Amino acid sequence: MSDIDIRIIGKAGRITLTRPKALNAMTYEMCLAIRQALTDWQSSAEVSLVVIDATGPRAFCSGGDIAELYETGTKGNYTYGQKFWADEYALNNLIFNYTKPVVSFLQGFTMGGGVGIGCHGTHRIVGETSQIAMPECGIGLVPDVGGSLMLALAPGRLGEYLGITAARMGADDAIYAGFADHYVPELMWADLITELEESGDTTCLDAQITAPAEGTLRSCNPQIDDLFAGETLGDIVRTLRADGSEFAQAAIKLMGRNAPLSMACTVEMIHRLRGPSLTMEKALDLEYRFTARAMEHGDFLEGIRAAIIDKDRAPAWQFADSDVPMAAVSKMLRPLGPNALKL
């Protein structure tokens, strides 16, 4: 497959995304190929660890390839999207629970579906160009691919902030928020990957780990905790509007690009998940409740139309005043019964 290079080199299972012109956006076929390889390598004595990387300087993986989802959804075919998300979430769960080390190298944009394949392994390496985000609310979805788990685990109310603003994280911010583990200068990556392939041992990473330039989230977290403590999206919006700070106004501006129904459901999802009983299975199940309904009842098709089809950047969202009734949130997140996600 020209979009992805899957092979074994030395003691490493190697997965390289090879769609640099498309910012390595992941197609359905790529998702299935990665899942099959990881399944095969799980019990293979030949493979000691897995290394996932991507070609091109601009992106590890900018997300899922959503054009086909739009094409099928606008024809009233919602089952293709539901199958795509179910299979993608099964892959995310496989990586999260993998029994061998999974090392990912996350240059440039790592967003949405890229987080799902790059940020659930055991060793998540960022560099000077890394930009990690969960921008799904901007296209009428919610942070998914297991991203809701990471947002629920982030310090304080950082999860709400990252989820509903889609703010981008550089290396230090991503490490602080729990989306990455280590900073290694990108010039060192090729040699490190060769060492991993030859040794099958992750201890070679230790000598190359350095401290990144300090980000902004550590110092802003007390302010984020105050501004994003509301129980609902409406509570958060009112708090932000009443606060005259530059930070609050910047957050409102970022949120103004996103679907209110998606943001309201994101806040509710994080609140439901946060706590000692959090598991990846619970997070993916809740995410799927939304995405399975996103084409028919949410704003997903309109979000894609505005972003990549007509490119007018003027989506006609439901609840455009950000006053989202709790009944609408409950409708999107209620259990799917026999159609629930099966991992």
Give yes or no: 136 in active site: yes
pLDDT of residue 51: 98
Give yes or no: 64 in active site: yes
pLDDT category of residue 240 using cuts at 50, 70 and 90: very high
Cβ of 225: how many Cβ atoms within 10 Å?
15
- Which residue among 53, 88, 136, 299 is the active-site one? 136
Q: Are 20 and 160 in contact (CB under 8 A)?
A: no
Q: Are 146 and 117 in contact (CB under 8 A)?
A: no
- Which residue among 13, 53, 63, 64 is the active-site one? 64
> How many Å apart are CA 324 and CA 306, to the nearest integer?
21
- Which residue among 13, 63, 108, 113 is the active-site one? 113
pLDDT of residue 314: 93
**Ordered alpha helix ranges (H), the chain:** 28-42, 67-73, 79-96, 113-118, 147-153, 158-165, 171-177, 189-199, 217-227, 233-242, 246-255, 260-273, 280-294, 300-304, 326-333
Q: Are 89 and 106 in contact (CB under 8 A)?
A: no
pLDDT of residue 66: 83
pLDDT category of residue 2 using cuts at 50, 70 and 90: confident
- Find where tokens 């998914």 sit: 144
> How many Å apart are CA 65 and CA 24, to the nearest integer?
9
- Which residue among 144, 160, 173, 268 is the active-site one? 144
Cβ of 325: how many Cβ atoms within 10 Å?
12
Residue ranges per domain, the chain? 4-339
**Mean pLDDT, range 322-334, rounded to an integer:** 96
- pLDDT(69) > 90: no
**Mean pLDDT, range 256-275, rounded to an integer:** 97
- Find where tokens 């290396």 sit: 171
Give yes or no: 144 in active site: yes
Give yes or no: 186 in active site: no
pLDDT of residue 1: 60
Residues 4-339: name the CATH superfamily.
2-enoyl-CoA Hydratase; Chain A, domain 1 (3.90.226.10)
**What mean pLDDT value characterizes the chain?**
96
User: What percent of the chain is predicted at pLDDT more than 90?
Assistant: 95
Q: Are 119 and 91 in contact (CB under 8 A)?
A: no
Assessment of whether the complete model's pTM goes beyond 0.85: yes
> How many Å apart are CA 59 and CA 108, to the nearest integer?
4
Sheet holding 4-9, edge to edge: 4-9, 12-17, 49-54, 102-106, 123-126, 182-183
pLDDT of residue 217: 97
pLDDT in tens, 80-94: 999 999 999 999 999
